[in-house]
Amino acid sequence: MRERVAQPPIQPALRDPERHDFWPGFVGALMGVIVLLCGAFHLTGLETTDGGTAREAQLVTAFAMGGVQWKDLSAPTAPAKDEDPAATARALEELEKRVNEGGPRWVIRVDTGAKTPCPT
């Protein structure tokens, strides 16, 4: 039925040795660990209630546990009347500057210690 096809003779001295190198695998695994750690500690730029900057993992936990807070800046309160008219004038200038600037009117803060699960 079938005929055997003649194969060339094998010369072990001329064959490429079959070897597995350690270094390419080690470098690949090291790069994977670095990417994993950088992703776990990636900062979001959102401030926390503790005063720092939230990491992505903390932000995900805050969303799940109801720890995302926002503060409305659209209607700032007027400064208290002080005895010092210069301090009152500076406070009113800062208040006017905040009201007139075109930035966002709210600030998002992350409560990293929130423990109440989201009802949805």
pLDDT digits (tens, 9 = 90+) for 16-37: 777 788 999 999 999 999 998 8
Does some domain include residue 23?
no
- CA angle, corner 92, sides to 90 and 94, nearest 5? 70
Does some domain include residue 96?
yes
Does some domain include residue 120?
no
Please give the residue range of the domain that contains residue 57: 44-110
Tell me the C-alpha distance between 45 and 52, whole Å. 9
Contact 88, 81 (CB under 8 A): yes
Does some domain include residue 1?
no
Tell me the C-alpha distance between 105 and 93, whole Å. 18
Overall domain count for the chain: 1
Tell me which residue of 61, 92, 62, 97 sits closest to 79, measured CA to CA: 92
**DSSP letter at 6?**
P
Tell me the C-alpha distance between 68 and 58, whole Å. 10
pLDDT of residue 25: 93
Does some domain include residue 7?
no
pLDDT of residue 76: 55
pLDDT of residue 17: 78
Does some domain include residue 5?
no
Assign 56 to helix, strand or coil: helix
Quickly state the pLDDT bin for 77 (edges 50, 70, 90): low
Does some domain include residue 116?
no
Does some domain include residue 77?
yes
